[in-house]
Amino acid sequence: MTTIAETAARRRHAGRTRLSARHREWIAGYLFVLPDALGLLVFLGVPMALSLVLSVFEVNGFGGYSFVGAKNYLRMWNDPLFWKGATVTALYAIMLVPLLYTCGLGLALLVQRTDRFNAVMRSMFFAPHMVSLVVVALVWQFMVVDKIGVISRLTAALGIGGFSFLGDPNFALITIVLVSVWFLMGFYMLIFLGGLQDIPRQYYEAAMIDGAGAIARFWFITLPLLKPTSFFVIMVSMVAAVAGAQAFDIIYVMTKGGPANATSVLIVYIYQQAFGFGAFGYAAAMASILVVVLMIVTAVFFALTRGGRFNHEQ
Amino acid sequence: MSDKKKAFPTLTRRGLLKGGAAVAGGLVGLGGFPYINRLAVRAQETPLKFWQFYAPGGPVASQVAWFEKTVADWNDSHPQKIELEFIPNSEYISGPKLATAFASGEGPDIFIISPGDFLRYYNGGVLKDLTPFIDETAKADFPESVIANRMVDGKIFGIPMEVEPMAMYYSVKAFEEAGLNENDVPKTWEELLEVAKKLTTPERFGVMFETQPGYYQNFTWYPFLWQGGGEFQTADGKSSFDSPATVQALKFWQDAINGGVAPRQIMGAGGHDTIANLASGYVAMQNVGIWGISQLQSNAKDFQYGVFRLPTPPNGKYVTVGGGWAFVANAKGRNSDAAGEFCAWALASKEQGSIDRVATWCTKGKSDMPPRNSALKAGGAAFSTGMIGKFAEEIHPGTRAEPRVPPEVYKIISDAIQQTQLGGADPQATATSASQQLDAFLSGYQGAPIL
């Protein structure tokens, strides 16, 4: 004769074993992902959807909404400042992404050996990333100020001075790119370091026995085996160039989009339309287009590189 | 053993999850819903919020003290209390704070705005008509040139707390180093560029105009447009930007940059910052407003400087621009009548306390010209001696109120200034293009008159 408690325990046990180990693992995996997925949905998915809805309304910024259909999108087509912003954004990305890739990888190769000196150097290269972007922008603004900034004095001493880093439309965007690279390269160095440490040492040893030099080892071993890391770096830096915090903060503090809109990347223009002019609907339309373009570029890049997978992987 | 287990049950994963879910649910139920939470708070007698940017620890201590005393005096004598909220300057002026607050229906009950922002908030329907709270005699105390850009259809929607005319400041030391003295102060644009050239050294610029795009740059450029007889719109609301006066004003600032006597990049907080630019020795002359007096008094006491009125172009007439902030009440606020009453009580009452308050702000809080005739008298010697006296006698008489324009008009003019000043564009072609853009906008503009 069994007691009620024993019967209940048996039922619980039977309930547990109803699922196979594979299913339980499958459920556990999704449960682990769930909090992050919920966060993305609430803080990214929902605002993106709302932004898309907002883009077909004219919003006066004081609670007044009126449906305007595609008017905001048509306005964008005829707005020279939107196209100026798109051009500046593209130029910024074209300059920033290769520079970040090269500097990040270069630094990682320089400090990849694990000794005390390299540990200090790694910390130093990563240090800018720990500082507030506003502080970074203010310090650089001071260093490149006309005539008396330390870098302006240095370039003048080298005989290449006489120009304004941030006040001349021909140099302002390049200066912003260089400051962005200085700020971000430590982060990408860390990612590349992770990738480099995954490459088995035996490959290099075998290559050296075969007489391969440093350049050949880099070209035929390091670079191909960094393919997944490279894919990640290029993707992330591209997103950072178009919509990253540094793209907004540094420009907003250092130039406010000037001189003569030379550094007015799209997110600065979107911000100006939304918060400066109260044109929230128009700003949402531009933001939506920006996201769509970014997604298309990402998808094309993903397809071309097979998501950074090696050729032997499926 | 089993008895012990029953008495002290161990913590299982399921138990932990259940407990966590219960706690989270409880928290959400109690106060997690912001809307319900807000209703509960609103049901209480909450003070009205007054937003401004003169925060404790700011560069001039007497400014925050003035705000605190004003609110404390009101709270001592009125049942509806008011509370100051300090918004960082960068968040407030052209920042997202006010914009997002109003967009979400949570705008402050009382706040301060400049003429550059007036139309945006008026056209948005959130400015309370303050006329019923202002006595007729007090209304007459505000000169027309000061109050006009805060009025629509004869009604007052903002009460100015100050008038801030623009002028030129110069460093006495820089003048002496260049062998100049106060008799060499330039009176024409041509003279200004010549003097600036003499003052320019490898480490210093001779003169400085604002270079960063924004409302402030437009504000500082308007007097150069007006001096040659230029306007950006005609009386019947069409663009008049394509004029010789516009071209001349755009070219003047461009010449200063191209001649190498003015910097392309400015120091510190911006062109309104006299400490980082003039007092630091970065520039020898600076185009800045009356507030520069209190900045230098508070932060560079030993700095020797002089002030002169804006030079004029050939056949031009002296005129400067007067900016300044105004108290406004949120028409959609919780108690807009009390908010409106506060604005009038603080700055536009016929009571002596109100008059003195304005005079105190303009003499002790800041170094400004008062927006009321009676406050000018109440300030006495403070407005007739020293640098403020110079402003009162020589500079302020030519003051014209800062234009109030919608953001779209601001942007068109701003781009024209930027393209010519720093982009090297042809002033005539830029003026023509900007005028066409202005016409396109003005033809469809619906809102309070642009002044």
CATH number at residue A254: 1.10.3720.10
* B interface test, pick of A144, A147, A248 with most B CB neighbours within 10 Å: A147
Please, which residues 66-125 of chain A have a Cβ atom closer than 8 Å to chain B? 81
Q: Express each pLDDT in A216-256 by its tens digit.
A: 999 999 999 999 999 999 999 999 999 887 889 999 999 99
Q: What gap in Å lies between CA B313 and CA B228, rounded to an integer?
A: 7
Helix H, strand E, coil C: the string for B68-131 is HHHHHHHHHHCCCCEEEEECCHHHHCCCHHHHHHHHCCCCCCEEEECHHHHHHHHHCCCECCCH
Taking only the tens place, the pLDDT of each residue in A36-92 is 999 999 999 999 999 999 999 998 888 888 999 999 999 999 999 999 999 999 999
For residue A107, give every residue at least 6 positions away whose Cβ sits within 8 Å of its Cβ, in sequence order, or none: A125, A185, A186, A189, A192
Within-domain flag for A291: yes
Asked if residue A37 and residue A118 are part of one domain, the reply reads no
Same domain for A179 and A79? yes
Closest CA of chain A from B188, distance in Å: 26
B203 SS3 class: coil
Interface test with A, best of B127, B215, B265, B426 (most A CBs within 10 A): B265
Q: A261 CB near a chain B CB, below 8 Å?
A: yes
Question: Is A260–B415 a contact, with Cβ atoms under 8 angstroms apart?
Answer: yes
Contacts of A68 in chain B (CB under 8 A): none
Distance CA B171, CA B283 (A): 8
CB pairs under 8 A between A and B: 106
Q: Are B16 and B302 in contact (CB under 8 A)?
A: no
Residue of A307, A257, A106 whose CA lies nearest to B418: A257
The pLDDT profile of chain B, 451 residues, written as one tens digit per residue, is 344 444 444 555 555 556 655 655 554 444 444 333 444 444 346 899 999 998 777 767 788 999 999 999 999 999 999 999 998 877 887 678 898 899 888 999 999 999 988 999 999 999 999 999 999 999 999 998 899 999 999 999 999 999 999 999 999 999 999 999 999 999 999 999 999 999 999 999 999 999 999 889 999 999 999 999 999 999 888 999 999 999 999 999 999 999 999 999 999 989 999 999 999 999 999 999 999 998 898 889 999 999 999 999 999 999 999 989 999 999 999 999 999 999 999 999 999 999 999 999 999 888 899 999 999 999 888 888 889 999 999 999 989 999 999 989 999 999 999 999 999 999 999 999 999 999 999 999 988 999 8
Q: What is the nearest CA distance from B271 to chain A, expressed in angstroms?
A: 13
CB distance B264–A164 less than 8 Å?
A: yes
Residues A92 and A29 in one domain: no
How many Å is the maximal CA-CA distance in chain A?
A: 101
CB contact under 8 Å between A145 and B265, yes or no, is: yes
Domain spanning B48-163+324-397, CATH class: alpha beta
ipTM surpassing 0.90 = no
| Amino acid occupying residue B209 | F
The residue behind tokens 């909090």 is A35
Where exactly are the structural domains of chain B? Answer: 48-163+324-397, 165-322+405-442
* A276 vs B: CB within 8 A: yes
Q: How far is A209 from chain B (nearest CA, A)?
A: 55
On whether the CB atoms of residues A191 and A308 are closer than 8 A, the answer is: no
Q: Do the Cβ atoms of B422 and A258 come within 8 Å?
A: yes
Structural domains of chain A, count: 2
Q: Under CATH, which number does the domain B165-322+405-442 receive?
A: 3.40.190.10
| Among chain B residues, CA nearest to A167 | B264
Give the minimum alpha-carbon distance from B99 to chain A in angstroms, rounded to a whole number: 6
Three-state DSSP class for A255? coil
Q: How far apart are CA B292 and CA B210, in angstroms?
A: 14
The nearest alpha carbon in chain A to B414 belongs to: A260
Q: Between chains, do B124 and A61 touch, taking CB under 8 Å as contact? A: yes
CB contact under 8 Å between A63 and B411, yes or no, is: no
| Total H helices, total E strands in chain B | 21, 13
Within-domain flag for A201 = yes
Kind of pairing, strands B82-86 and B48-52?
parallel
DSSP assigned state of B83: E
Q: Are A128 and A246 in contact (CB under 8 A)?
A: no
What is the domain extent for residue A128? 66-308
**Concatenated DSSP letters of B346-403:** HHS-SSHHHHHHHHHIIIII---B-SSHHHHHHHGGGGTSHHHHHIIIIIGGGEEEPP
Task: Provide the token pair at B30.
Answer: 């109690």
Assigned domain for A60 exists: no
A12 touches chain B (CB under 8 A): no
- Pairing relation of β-strands A57-59 and A65-67? antiparallel
**What does residue B62 show for φ and ψ, rounded to 5 degrees?**
-70, -20
**Partner residues linked to B166 by β-bridges:** B289
Q: Identify the residue whose tokens are 């001189």.
A: A259
Helix axis angle, B407-421 to B215-227, nearest 10°? 70
* Cβ contact, residue pair A278, B99, below 8 Å: yes
Q: Determine, yes or no, domain membership for A183.
A: yes
Q: Residue A252 falls within a domain, yes or no?
A: yes
Residue type, B134: I
Q: Are residues A242 and A285 in the same domain?
A: yes
Q: Measured between alpha carbons, how far is B61 from B299 in angstroms, rounded to an integer?
A: 11
